[in-house]
Amino acid sequence: MKDFLLSIIIPVYNEEDNCEPLIHRLIPIVENYKYELIFVNDGSTDRTHEKIKEYAKKNKNVKLITFNRNFGHQMALTCGYNTAKGDCVLSLDADLQDPPEIIPEIIEKWKHGAKIVYAKRAKRESDNFFKKKTAHFFYKFINFLSDTPIPPEVGDYRLIDREIVDFLNKLPERSRFLRGLVAWGGYPIEYVYFERMKRHAGTTHYPLSKMINFALDGITSFSTKPLRIASYFGFLSASLGFVGIIYAVLGKLFLSSQWVSGWTALFVGIMFLGGVQLLTIGIIGEYISRIYREIQHRPQYLIRETVNV
């Protein structure tokens, strides 16, 4: 454990103002180890590629992989895991919200036997109220539906052992939700706590629409409960419909003089059944779309250029 290689994967997308401060904070920390910094440029349209390339020319331990276009954060991490040669592999975002100064503490946890070391947010005062509440709801909701618990208040700032990297690289899944896949193996875990900082520069690349898509990917990757819920809705609507039939027949037979047919019950019934049907079709569609993506067997990403790899 004294002579090990540390790989750090850093997905970047339009982070030209964050690359230099991140490298300046990272190098003094990791130069005490044998290390490689793997920047995965996920189709940036600014000068992110050029800035990292300048550092890579000066330091052979800084490596750069540039995609043809934007393939998404999970695919950038996947590429990093496929490339990393380290005995332990740490993933870190480039926005400096997750401080690199806790890396030595994370490594110590790994040295003492933990296969996964999560950097857990003890405080996230830098995030606004909406962000904190939606993140809290996301973990509650996905853990309610999933058979694989995902630790709350953790992101992709984590260290995993070489054994887990090899396990992830062998998985045949093409649409990947890595937070779930890492937890799915059931390996020993430890936590290092930190206070989440404000983003150093730029704006978040995860607006509400991407957060919703990310949540749907996580749910459909690790749970079939939504399909069961759709079945329950179908059973509920059928039961209510059967009760309505009995009520209508009895009313016609025994309350014919007072029976007045109205449009309200009909309207409510149609809207309820229509809503249940659309919800069910939508849930089934999410799972079919995952099957469709899996059977296409397209490459997960396309690499345009590599430096020091």
pLDDT digits 0-9 by tens, 205-257: 566 666 677 777 777 777 777 777 777 777 777 777 777 667 666 766 666 55
Cβ neighbors of 291 (< 8 A, separation 6 or more) are none
Distance CA(163)–CA(92), nearest Å, equals 19
Query: Is pLDDT of 2 > 70?
Result: no
Highest mean pLDDT among 18-27, 122-131, 188-197, 270-279: 18-27
pLDDT digits 0-9 by tens, 261-276: 665 567 667 777 777 7
CATH of 5-210+299-307, one of 3.40.140.10, 3.90.550.10, 3.40.50.2020, 3.20.20.70: 3.90.550.10
Q: Given this model, what pLDDT does residue 263 score?
A: 55
Residue 303's pLDDT band, with cuts at 50, 70 and 90, is: very high
Q: Given this model, what pLDDT does residue 124 score?
A: 61
Residue 92's pLDDT band, with cuts at 50, 70 and 90, is: very high
| Number of helical (H) and strand (E) elements in the chain, helices listed first | 10, 8
Cβ neighbors of 232 (< 8 A, separation 6 or more) are none
Q: Given this model, what pLDDT does residue 219 score?
A: 73
pTM score of the predicted model: 0.77
At residue 143's C-alpha, the angle toward residues 222 and 217, to 5°, is 40
Between 25 and 125, residue with greater pLDDT:
25
Query: CB of 188 within 8 A of CB of 114?
Result: yes
CB atoms within 10 A of CB 5: 15
What are the sequence ranges of the domains in the chain? 5-210+299-307, 225-296
Place of tokens 């300046």: 24
Residue type, position 269, single letter:
G
Q: Given this model, what pLDDT does residue 190 score?
A: 92
